[in-house]
Copies of this chain bind each other. A is one copy, B any other.
Amino acid sequence: MSQQPSDESILSSQVADCIQDCLNSHTVCLDTAMSLLQKGNNYADPVRILLDCSEVCATNSHFLMRNSPVYGSVLQACAQVCTHCAEVCDEIGETDCANACRASANSSEQMAKLIP
């Protein structure tokens, strides 16, 4: 008889994935921001949103690591900022960064739905 994973272990694996996605886009956004910075002033707005996204992803992952009782609103903020950042990255051809942001937007949205 096969063992079913418990609700708790599904949740805990989803938390771990969300943390990983957020740490990944935290890093990719900061890298992309620094690379755009060298390219000059047409990128001032993308650099700013990339710094925003990098920071909110870090904050979100820390809330999840601390198992915060109030992480719902931070998950939603993270999902919104990542979605916006993904669109900006698409427009300027930063596809890898756009994909990283979409992944953390999706994980954060899914997690936010699990909260009662």
Cα-based distance from A42 to B73 in the complex (angstroms): 26
Interface residue A77 (Cβ < 8 Å from any Cβ of B)? yes
Interface residues of A in 37-91 (CB under 8 A from B): 37-41, 44-45, 47-49, 51-52, 55-56, 58-59, 61-63, 65-74, 76-77, 80-81, 84
Interface residue A11 (Cβ < 8 Å from any Cβ of B)? no
Inter-subunit contact B81/A30 (CB<8 Å): no
Interface residue A27 (Cβ < 8 Å from any Cβ of B)? yes
Decide if the interface of chain A is mainly helix, strand, loop or mixed. Answer: helix
Interface residue A23 (Cβ < 8 Å from any Cβ of B)? yes
Inter-subunit contact B41/A39 (CB<8 Å): yes
Closest approach, in angstroms, between the C-beta of A7 and any C-beta of chain B?
Answer: 21
